[in-house]
């Protein structure tokens, strides 16, 4: 049987079998039937005529993933254009002397320094803000814990008060029942009372 | 340049070239559509699945390194998407319970003989559970070996074989039922 299975697998994989091997497979009713059915599928596969795809919007399967690249590209173009403009200005202004250029460089440096200062200040402000926020968070957490604790204490106190009240009511009720019993016992004739006197 | 090789098209599409991408889609849409049609039996479902497949291919295209052929890679995506699609649809309605006339009315099946063959194939496919349908599709229509089927579906070779044998056994029952 295992041999038949390996033969059948080989046949399905398209390996060429000898006539004797094919006869062997066909002599087994199960494998003969599977071969027949496999042949049917193969026939369907061979005769299958591809159906044309209905009209559809092919662009719809192109999500906006590459839009960023487009923007990035335009950013690059903008940068290249500004460099080109600067170069053009430098080339077409030969009257600009070295001292003017130095002055401009100094200006730019000062500007950069002031920007750096501003960035540092902003950084400090952010750090301070973070510290304040952390403190606030700590206070809030503490407050929440405290409130929770007080609420729990109040709840426990009210439960205790309720239990006490309940116990007092139960005791009063029991007392009343005992009094009733005592009155019933007092009102009865002697023989019906349990006689436990020792003789 | 009117004719570009597949590799060129892929490389251009990976760079975000829309024309190259559309050409790539046009080259492969018929195969994918027919695969979807065989698996789902319904033209509208096949179109939906095909669109999902191409969206997925477009998103994954930058990660295609050419370790395997584009077709193999494409069909791996097709199988994954089809399984997901089937699972999703199964919650809403049984695909096998779809009306038969939906395809008969279609313009694309005007040819009587072709229509008959397609209907017979559809009926045979619908008779199979989804897993067996996948194996039959890969074996007889994609001409994959058992090892390739196992690799594509993430199952063992023996499971692939047993699914196919079950499918071939089911066909017997189905044909007996059809023949009366």
Would you list the domain boundaries of chain B? 1-110, 127-180
**A38/B168 Cβ within 8 A:** yes
Give the one of B47, B164, B171 whose C-beta lies nearest to A56's C-beta. Answer: B47
Mean pLDDT comparison of A1-10, A158-167, B73-82, B111-120, highest-scoring range: A158-167
Selected for mutation to probe chain A from B14, B25, B112, B168 (highest A CB count within 10 Å) is B168
Looking at A37-41, A85-89, B86-90, B97-101, which range is the least confident one?
B97-101
DSSP one-letter string for B4-50? --HHHHHHHHHTT-HHHHHHHHHHHHHHHHHHHHHHH--HHHHHHHH
* Confidence bin at B65 (pLDDT 50/70/90): confident
Higher pLDDT, residue A198 or B117 = B117
- B1-110 adopts what CATH topology? Rna Polymerase Sigma Factor; Chain: A (1.10.1740)
Q: Which two tokens stand for residue B102?
A: 């939906």
* Confidence bin at B180 (pLDDT 50/70/90): very low
Mean pLDDT comparison of A59-68, A77-86, B48-57, highest-scoring range: B48-57
Domain region containing A12: 2-45
> Alpha helices of chain A — where are they, by DSSP H?
2-12, 19-27, 29-47, 67-91, 98-187
Considering its fold, how many domains does chain A have in total? 1
Burial per residue of A10-42, b for 16 or more beta-carbon CB atoms within 10 angstroms, e otherwise: ebbeeeeeeeebeebbeeeeebebbbebbebbe
Q: Which residues in B lie closer than 8 A to residue A48 (C-beta atoms)?
A: 34, 117, 121, 141
pLDDT digits (tens, 9 = 90+) for B93-150: 544 554 444 444 555 555 677 777 778 888 888 888 888 998 999 999 988 889 888 8
Q: Which two tokens stand for residue A122?
A: 């902003």
pLDDT digits (tens, 9 = 90+) for B24-39: 999 999 999 999 988 8
CA-based nearest residue in chain B for residue A34: B168
| B121 closest CA partner among A32, A43, A52 | A43
Higher pLDDT, residue B89 or B102 = B89
| B137 closest CA partner among B34, B17, B6 | B34
Average pLDDT over every residue of A123-131: 94
* Average model confidence (pLDDT) across chain A: 83
pLDDT for position A97: 66
Residues contacting residue A171 through CB under 8 Å, at least 6 positions apart: none
* Confidence bin at A92 (pLDDT 50/70/90): low
Q: Which residues in A lie closer than 8 A to residue B121 (C-beta atoms)?
A: 44, 48
Q: Which residues in B lie closer than 8 A to residue A49 (C-beta atoms)?
A: 114, 117
ipTM: 0.74
Looking at B43-52, B54-63, B118-127, which range is the least confident one?
B118-127
CA-based nearest residue in chain A for residue B110: A51
**B43/A54 Cβ within 8 A:** yes
CATH of domain B127-180: 1.10.10.10
Selected for mutation to probe chain A from B165, B173, B177, B178 (highest A CB count within 10 Å) is B165
Q: Which residues in B lie closer than 8 A to residue A37 (C-beta atoms)?
A: 168-169, 171-172, 175
pLDDT for position B100: 47
**B140/A41 Cβ within 8 A:** yes
Task: Count the neighbouring beta carbons within 10 Å of the beta carbon of residue B30.
Answer: 14
* Confidence bin at A168 (pLDDT 50/70/90): very high
CB A24 within 8 Å of CB A7: yes
Give the one of B59, B140, B172 whose C-beta lies nearest to A33's C-beta. Answer: B172
pLDDT at B16 over 50: yes
pLDDT for position A136: 93
CA-based nearest residue in chain A for residue B157: A9
> Which residue shows structure tokens 């191409």?
B54
Average pLDDT over every residue of A156-185: 94
How far is A116 from chain B, CA to nearest CA, in Å?
Answer: 38
Q: Which residues in A lie closer than 8 A to residue B145 (C-beta atoms)?
A: 13
């Amino acid at each position: 049987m295992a041999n038949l299975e390996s033969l059948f697998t080989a046949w399905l994989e398209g390996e060429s079998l000898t006539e004797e091997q094919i006869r062997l497979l066909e002599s087994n009713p199960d494998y003969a039937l599977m071969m027949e059915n496999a042949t049917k599928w193969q026939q369907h596969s061979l005769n299958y005529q591809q159906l044309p795809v209905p009209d559809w919007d092919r662009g719809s399967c192109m999500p906006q993933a590459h839009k960023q690249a487009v923007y990035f590209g335009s950013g690059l173009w903008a940068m290249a254009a500004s460099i080109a403009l600067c170069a053009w200005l430098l080339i077409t202004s030969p009257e600009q002397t070295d001292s003017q250029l130095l002055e401009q460089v100094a200006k730019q440096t000062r500007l950069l320094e002031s920007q750096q200062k501003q960035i540092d200040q902003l950084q400090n402000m952010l750090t301070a803000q973070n510290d304040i926020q952390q403190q606030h968070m700590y206070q809030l957490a503490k407050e929440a814990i405290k409130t929770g604790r007080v609420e729990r204490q109040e709840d426990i106190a009210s439960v205790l008060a309720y239990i006490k009240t309940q116990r007092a009511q139960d005791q009063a009720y029991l007392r009343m029942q005992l009094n009733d019993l005592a009155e019933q016992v007092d009102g009865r004739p002697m023989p019906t009372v349990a006689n436990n006197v020792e003789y | 340049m009117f004719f570009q090789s597949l590799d060129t098209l892929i490389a251009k599409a990976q760079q975000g070239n829309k024309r190259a991408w559309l050409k790539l889609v046009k080259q492969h849409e018929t195969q994918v559509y027919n695969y979807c049609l065989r698996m789902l039996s319904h033209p509208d479902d096949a179109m939906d699945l095909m669109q999902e497949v191409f969206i997925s291919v477009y998103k994954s295209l930058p990660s295609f390194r050419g370790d395997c052929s584009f077709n193999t890679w494409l069909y791996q995506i097709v199988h994954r998407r089809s399984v997901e699609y089937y699972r999703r649809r199964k919650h809403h309605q049984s695909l096998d319970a779809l009306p038969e006339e939906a395809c008969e009315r279609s313009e694309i099946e005007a040819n009587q003989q072709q229509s008959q063959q397609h209907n017979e194939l559809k009926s045979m496919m619908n008779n199979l559970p989804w897993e067996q349908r996948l194996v039959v599709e890969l074996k007889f229509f994609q001409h994959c070996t058992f090892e390739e089927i196992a690799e594509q579906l993430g199952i063992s070779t023996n499971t692939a074989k047993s699914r196919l044998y079950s499918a071939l056994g089911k066909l017997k029952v189905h044909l007996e039922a059809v023949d009366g």
